[in-house]
Structure 1
Amino acid sequence: MLFTKSIVQAAAALVLLSLNIEAAHVSSRATVCNGYSEFCGRSLGNITMVGTHDSYAVGVNNLATNQDYDITQQLTDGVRMLQSQAHNNSGTIELCHTSCGLQDGGSLQDYLTKVVVLLIVNIDDMPATAFAPVFEAANVSGISYQPGVSSMPASSWPTLGSLIDNGTRLITFLDNHADITTVPYLLDEFSNIWETSFDLTSQTAFDCTVNRSNGDTSTQMFLINHFLDQLILGQPVPDPSQANETNAVSGTGSLGAQVATCQSTMGRPPTFMLVDFYEYGNGSVFEVAAAANGVTYNAKAIATPITSSSSGSSSGSSSSSSNHAQALLDVPSMTLLRVAPVMIISGILFAWNLF
Structure 2
Amino acid sequence: MRATRSALIATLVTSLAAATLTATITAPAAAAAPADGLYYLQSATTGLNAGVSGTSVLQRRPKGDEDHQQWTLSSRTLREGAGCLGRQGDLAVVLPCDSPDAQWDVVPDGDRHRLHVPGTDRRLVASGTDQVRIGSGADLWYLTPAFPQRVPAPPEGERRLDQVTFLTAHNAYANGVDGGFAPPFVNLAPNQARGIEQQLADGVRGFQLDVHQTRDGAILCHNSCTWVSRPVALWVDVRRIVDFLHRNPAEFVTVFLEDYVTADVLRSELARVDGLADVLFRPDQAGVRTNGWPTLNALRAADKRLMIFTDRGRSGDTPQRDTFGVMYQSEWTVENHWSMGPGVGGSDWSCHSRWSTPLTRTEPGFRPLFVMNHFRDVPVTGTAGTDNAKLADRARRFCEPAARKTPTYLAVDHYHLGNPMAAVHALSGERFPG
The equivalent residue for 2:167 is 50
1:111 to 237, 261, 281: 237
Change (3 A) 1:70 1:37: farther
Identity %: 27
> Amino acid of the residue matched to residue 224 of structure 1?
M
Q: Is the 8 A contact 1:48 1:272 kept in 2?
A: yes
> Amino acid of the residue matched to residue 307 of structure 2?
I
Q: Once the 2 structures are TM-superposed, how far is the Cα of residue 56 of structure 1 from its aligned partner?
A: 0.9
SS in 1 for 2:394: helix
1:69 to 194, 197, 210: 194
Q: Once the 2 structures are TM-superposed, how far is the Cα of residue 114 of structure 1 from its aligned partner?
A: 3.6
- Looking at structure 1, the residues matched to 224 and 266 of structure 2 have their Cα atoms a distance apart, in angstroms, of 22
SS in 1 for 2:257: coil
Moved runs in structure 1, 4+ residues, more than 4 A?
A: 102-105, 117-120, 149-155, 177-182, 213-216
Cα distance per residue 1:163-203 (max 9 Å; x no partner):
01001111111122557796152211011111111232265
Q: Once the 2 structures are TM-superposed, how far is the Cα of residue 119 of structure 1 from its aligned partner?
A: 4.5
- With the length of structure 2 as denominator, give the TM-score of the two structures: 0.50
Alignment of 1:22-33 (within 5 A): none
> Amino acid of the residue matched to residue 245 of structure 1?
T
Bigger radius of gyration: 2
Q: Is the 8 A contact 2:256 2:311 kept in 1?
A: no
Q: Once the 2 structures are TM-superposed, how far is the Cα of residue 245 of structure 1 from its aligned partner?
A: 0.8
SS in 2 for 1:85: strand
Matched pairs, number:
246
1:198 to 330, 333, 338: 338
Q: Please say if 1:288 is aligned against 2:405.
A: no
- Looking at structure 1, the residues matched to 412 and 194 of structure 2 have their Cα atoms a distance apart, in angstroms, of 13
The equivalent residue for 1:167 is 303
Change (3 A) 1:136 1:147: farther
> Amino acid of the residue matched to residue 289 of structure 1?
V
Q: Once the 2 structures are TM-superposed, how far is the Cα of residue 77 of structure 1 from its aligned partner?
A: 0.9
Cα distance per residue 1:223-277 (max 9 Å; x no partner):
1110123xxxxxxx322221221100xxxxx212221122233332111111000
Q: Once the 2 structures are TM-superposed, how far is the Cα of residue 96 of structure 1 from its aligned partner?
A: 0.4
Instruction: Say which structure, 1 or 2, has more relative contact order (CA 8 Å, 6+ apart).
Output: 1
Unaligned runs of 5+ in 1: 1-35, 230-236, 249-253, 296-355
Change (3 A) 1:205 1:41: same
Q: Once the 2 structures are TM-superposed, how far is the Cα of residue 64 of structure 1 from its aligned partner?
A: 4.0
- Looking at structure 2, the residues matched to 102 and 154 of structure 1 have their Cα atoms a distance apart, in angstroms, of 47
Q: Is the 8 A contact 2:335 2:359 kept in 1?
A: no
Q: Is the 8 A contact 1:197 1:225 kept in 2?
A: yes
Q: Is the 8 A contact 1:128 1:186 kept in 2?
A: no
1 or 2, which has the higher helix percentage? 1
- Looking at structure 2, the residues matched to 142 and 113 of structure 1 have their Cα atoms a distance apart, in angstroms, of 12
- Looking at structure 1, the residues matched to 310 and 322 of structure 2 have their Cα atoms a distance apart, in angstroms, of 14
Q: Is the 8 A contact 1:150 1:187 kept in 2?
A: no
Q: Please say if 1:83 is aligned against 2:208.
A: yes
- Looking at structure 2, the residues matched to 190 and 292 of structure 1 have their Cα atoms a distance apart, in angstroms, of 23
The equivalent residue for 1:13 is none
Alignment of 1:130-169 (within 5 A): 130-131=266-267, 134-135=270-271, 138-148=274-284, 152=288, 156-169=292-305
Unaligned runs of 5+ in 2: 1-152, 178-184, 243-252, 363-367
1:207 to 335, 350, 353: 350
The equivalent residue for 2:402 is 265
Cα distance per residue 1:111-147 (max 9 Å; x no partner):
3454436847362241268516844873422321123
- Looking at structure 2, the residues matched to 159 and 269 of structure 1 have their Cα atoms a distance apart, in angstroms, of 16
- Looking at structure 2, the residues matched to 106 and 93 of structure 1 have their Cα atoms a distance apart, in angstroms, of 9
- Looking at structure 1, the residues matched to 290 and 386 of structure 2 have their Cα atoms a distance apart, in angstroms, of 30
The equivalent residue for 2:371 is 223
The equivalent residue for 1:246 is 387
- Looking at structure 1, the residues matched to 400 and 322 of structure 2 have their Cα atoms a distance apart, in angstroms, of 37
SS in 1 for 2:298: helix
- Looking at structure 2, the residues matched to 108 and 273 of structure 1 have their Cα atoms a distance apart, in angstroms, of 22
- Looking at structure 1, the residues matched to 333 and 428 of structure 2 have their Cα atoms a distance apart, in angstroms, of 18
- CA RMSD in angstroms, aligned pairs only: 3.3
1 or 2, which has the higher strand percentage? 2
- Looking at structure 1, the residues matched to 227 and 350 of structure 2 have their Cα atoms a distance apart, in angstroms, of 29
